[in-house]
Amino acid sequence: MTSAAAPGRSVTARVPAKINLELLVGPRRDDGYHHLSTVFQAVSVYDDVTVEPADDWGITVTGPYVDLVPVDGSNLALRAARGLADVAGVAEPVHITIDKDIPVAGGMAGGSADGAAALVACDALWDLASPRGVLEDLAADLGADVPFGLHGGTAIGSGRGDQLAPVLGRGRYHWVFALSDVGLSTPAIYAECDRLRGATPVRDPSPSAPMMSALRSGDAEALGRALTNDLQEAALTLQPGLSEVLGTGMECGALGGVVSGSGPTIAFLVADHEAALDLAVGLTASGVASAVKRATGPVAGAHVLTSGAATGAASPPRRRGAQRPGAPDGGGGGGAGPGRPPGRGAPSSPA
């Protein structure tokens, strides 16, 4: 199979991790998911996903989590690329390289982020200029957290967490993440949450007034008090050592701390850059976390970082027949977030 793009052409997309400032879990739905109300924030811990034409579909992972990322058909980045190719009628395989800095199975949507980045990168490589809605629909099919990887910033998620509405908040926030070398299974966390609740009636959730007020005002202290996660008790039950991590972080001056998503990463909010350095040193010295990262938020969602091509124009990708109704038609944006984050986060110790 001959590549449709010029030899040597590649596109790299950068995508941030997410944290859940608030995660309220409602009753279980008929499809097995739970009704959710969550407030996402994208933070400056990044994966870089590079796509380039290839004779066959494939994937390579670099970085500190090489042994933890699947490189078969279950990888969300590979599924995303194939899904976009099917929708757009592109018959051009790509090889995907993931330079991974977002923790795996850490509650920061690392796999979902890679799916979002692959959509943006392939859209640019194949010169599709897909309408935003096409990428968002594909993202939602891949998983509940993937649409936020495209969106970035701060947003409310409802339904499974995939129905997004932007939050018009103020402020730039400083975060310290205490990582664990033992991951937690998302299905196991939700099952434990259900077990702990027993027969207690659960209402459909909605964003809390304290959270919305804190974000509107940009008050970091108020945001620290408002951090909430209904899955936290389940995470602490399955991994009791996280309680010590939370306690240590608060003793070291954090404004607030919360298990991110299904865990086990714990996100601590601090007042400023200097406080982040102090907390990172304190957590590292205490030995309660396997690694510590610092970041800021909110940041932009998945966006094209670099696009390189060999001398001469690239040919358009080969198409498999006519486009389906609703397939990319050259209009709309390609999913790149506004602005470009300056770097990939500042790890305080090796991750």
Question: Which residues are the active-site residues?
Answer: 18, 145
- How far apart, in whole angstroms, are the C-alpha atoms of residue 113 and residue 189? 20
Instruction: For residue 140, give the amino acid letter.
Output: A
- How far apart, in whole angstroms, are the C-alpha atoms of residue 237 and residue 245? 14
Q: Which residues contact 236 (CB under 8 A, 6 or more apart)?
A: 242, 243, 259
Q: Which two tokens stand for residue 231?
A: 């899955």
Instruction: For residue 300, give the amino acid letter.
Output: A
Exposure string (b/e) for 202-217, b if CB count within 10 Å is 16 or more? beebebeeebbebbee
Cα dist from 215 to 39, 145, 176, 206, whole Å: 10, 21, 19, 15
Residue 159: how many other CB atoms lie within 10 Å:
14
**What is the DSSP track for 233-265?**
HHHHHHSTTHHHHHHHHHHTT-SEEEE-TTSS-
Please state at what angle helix 76-88 crosses helix 110-125, rounded to 10 degrees.
Answer: 30
Contact status, residue 284 vs residue 349, Cβ threshold 8 Å: yes
Query: What phi and psi values does residue 69 have, to the nearest 5 degrees?
Result: -105, 125
Q: Which two tokens stand for residue 287?
A: 């030995």
Per DSSP, 68 falls in state: G
Reduce the DSSP state of residue 297 to 3 states and report it: strand
